[in-house]
Structure 1
């Protein structure tokens, strides 16, 4: 309860301060009242969804997700505006003291807030405000196909030009537009890759979230098969289950769903992809993550039927596994495919110029291709979304990787 009280007080103080900028920027009372109304509606909806309206425990349902998204949008606008106002008020305070000490009139006067600075503050704050709204409306379904060519000295000859499509972090429980998902599935199939690899988090929490989408995802095509692993959300660890048996049943239901979709689920296991007399090893581990995440991934178990000198592709949901375990393993893993980070669903990417997201402060390898010690990893930015119901700058990704023999 104390946390709620502190949160509400801070939110209202930010709102009051921002209102001063709005009043300085425009004299129309309806604008002031509209800001107050929107601010209170967003706060009220957030409180309701996470208290009285919360019938799903810790599960971040769609209504909760949107309540969080709208709150984040309004708070971001307020914080940026307030930062500018504080700098302006500091100047006004110093100006008032200067007039009192050195001015002709020794009385202290607080100079009036300058209108143009209030307009500049709100103009700058409007950029992320509009971006976050766009991310919820359009950005979350702004699917991008990212293509890479990766060269290897020891790639088996028959696999020169072999094409892989990777998707990750579907989070089907967040979907709210079937037409957009139909488009994305069609976009995946248009790549006509040899193999399709899915690197975990099919659902947010429960297997039932995938039921409305099962038939659609079963239309995914790849001539050499579709393979998958589990992500941290697939285990149901973020739900207050009535019993452990209920949780275990949910996981079994999810595994059955993957099979019905046509995925060959690799649970610390391996398969060989063959072309003529050549083969490459496909290895899939269960989730292994740093910082409190489940550590069920077992490289030794997964590779028990694999030869040391095989060309290896590893599916591992969390890129921290690659950094902490895979890179320095006795075996050489030529290519690891991961997801998990979502690129935080927020950032700035201009190819060849800038690639930034706050998630880089937690994950060293957070999006795209990296190479260390002669081994590659691709961290897919994710197909779906979770938490904030949108994406800004970090768009949903379909990765297409072509393996090439280095000449």
Structure 2
């Protein structure tokens, strides 16, 4: 209760401070009242969703996600505006002190706020405010096909030009627009790849989240089949279960559902893909994550009967597994495919110039292609979304990777 009281007081204080900029910039009272009404509604909805309307679990439900998203949008607007106001108020304070000490009247008085600074503050604050709203309205379904060509000296000849489509982090429990998901599934199929690989997190918590979408995702296709692995959310670790048996059954149901959808689910297993006399090994591990994340991935078990000189593609949900385990393993994995980070669903990407997201402070390998010790990883930015119900700058991704044989020099 005390935390709620402190939070409400802080929110109201920030809102009232921000209101000063609006009063300086606009002489119309209805603008001030509209701001106050919207601010109160956002706060009220957030309190309701996270108290009376609360659903148990560490993963936000759809209604809680939107309540969080709108609150985040308002807080960003407050913060950017206040940054300007506070800077000006410091100047106004020292101006008042100067007049008190050195002025003719020896009175302490604050100069009026300058309207143009309030307008600048509100204008700049409107940029992230609008971006976050756009992210919730359109950004989360702004699917992008990102294409990569990777060269390997030891790629089997028959696989030169082999094309792989990777998707990751579906998070079906967050979907709220069927037409957009149908469009994305069609976009995947339009790539006409040889292989389709899904690298985990089909649901947020429960198998039932995927059932309304299962028939649609069953239509995903690739010439040589589609394969999947589990992500950390697929184990159901983020909500309470009445019994361990119920939780275990949920996981078994998800495994069966994936198989019914046509996925060959690799649980610390491997498969061989053949073209004539040539072959490549496809290896899939269960989730292995740094810190408190589940560590069910077992490379040794997954590579049983895989020869050392085989060309290997590894599916592992969390890229920290690649950094902490795979790169240090005695086995050489030519290409690892991961997801998990979502690129934090927020950042700035301008190809060839800038690629930034706050997630880089947690994950060294957080989006796109990286190469270390002669081994590649692609960290897919995710198909779906979780928590904040949107995306800004880091769009939902369909990765298309073409394997090429590098000429010997």
User: How far does residue 5 in structure 1 lie from its aligned partner after superposition?
Assistant: 1.4
Cα-Cα RMSD: 0.7
The question of whether the paired residues in 2 share the 8 Å contact of 1:58 and 1:240 is answered with no
Residue aligning to 1:156: 156
User: How far does residue 58 in structure 1 lie from its aligned partner after superposition?
Assistant: 3.8
C-alpha distance after superposition, 1:321-347 (max 9, x if no partner): 000000111000000000000000000
Residue aligning to 1:211: 211
Residue aligning to 2:45: 45
Name whichever of 53-62 and 115-124 sits farther off. Answer: 53-62
CA distance in 1 between counterparts of 2:282 and 2:2 reads 51
Residues 184-199 of structure 1 aligned to structure 2 (within 5 Å): 184-199=184-199
Residue aligning to 1:31: 31
Name whichever of 47-56 and 317-326 sits farther off. Answer: 47-56
The question of whether the paired residues in 1 share the 8 Å contact of 2:165 and 2:399 is answered with yes
CA distance in 2 between counterparts of 1:143 and 1:315 reads 22
* Structure 2 residue 290 is matched with structure 1 residue 314: no
The question of whether the paired residues in 1 share the 8 Å contact of 2:170 and 2:384 is answered with yes
C-alpha distance after superposition, 1:344-403 (max 9, x if no partner): 000000000100000000000000000000000000000000000000000000000000
1:151 is paired with a residue whose SS is: strand
Residue aligning to 1:381: 381
C-alpha distance after superposition, 1:281-325 (max 9, x if no partner): 000000000121001101001001211111000000000000000
Residue aligning to 1:110: 110
CA distance in 1 between counterparts of 2:294 and 2:16 reads 43
User: How far does residue 59 in structure 1 lie from its aligned partner after superposition?
Assistant: 4.2
Q: Which runs of 5+ in 2 are unaligned?
A: none
Residue aligning to 2:221: 221
Residues 124-203 of structure 1 aligned to structure 2 (within 5 Å): 124-203=124-203
Name whichever of 46-55 and 317-326 sits farther off. Answer: 46-55
Residues 293-308 of structure 1 aligned to structure 2 (within 5 Å): 293-308=293-308
1:84 is paired with a residue whose SS is: helix
C-alpha distance after superposition, 1:237-296 (max 9, x if no partner): 001111111100100110011011110000000000110000000000000001210011
TM-score, normalised with respect to structure 2: 0.99
Residue aligning to 1:339: 339
**Number of aligned residues:** 407
User: How far does residue 37 in structure 1 lie from its aligned partner after superposition?
Assistant: 0.5
The question of whether the paired residues in 2 share the 8 Å contact of 1:318 and 1:339 is answered with yes
Residue aligning to 2:232: 232
Residue aligning to 2:390: 390
User: How far does residue 56 in structure 1 lie from its aligned partner after superposition?
Assistant: 3.9
Name whichever of 102-111 and 224-233 sits farther off. Answer: 102-111
CA distance in 2 between counterparts of 1:59 and 1:212 reads 20
Residue aligning to 2:404: 404
Residue aligning to 1:265: 265
Residue aligning to 1:96: 96
User: How far does residue 205 in structure 1 lie from its aligned partner after superposition?
Assistant: 0.5
TM-score, normalised with respect to structure 1: 0.99
Structure 1 outlier segments of 4+, above 6 Å: none
User: How far does residue 55 in structure 1 lie from its aligned partner after superposition?
Assistant: 3.7
Q: Which runs of 5+ in 1 are unaligned?
A: none
User: How far does residue 57 in structure 1 lie from its aligned partner after superposition?
Assistant: 4.2
User: How far does residue 104 in structure 1 lie from its aligned partner after superposition?
Assistant: 1.7
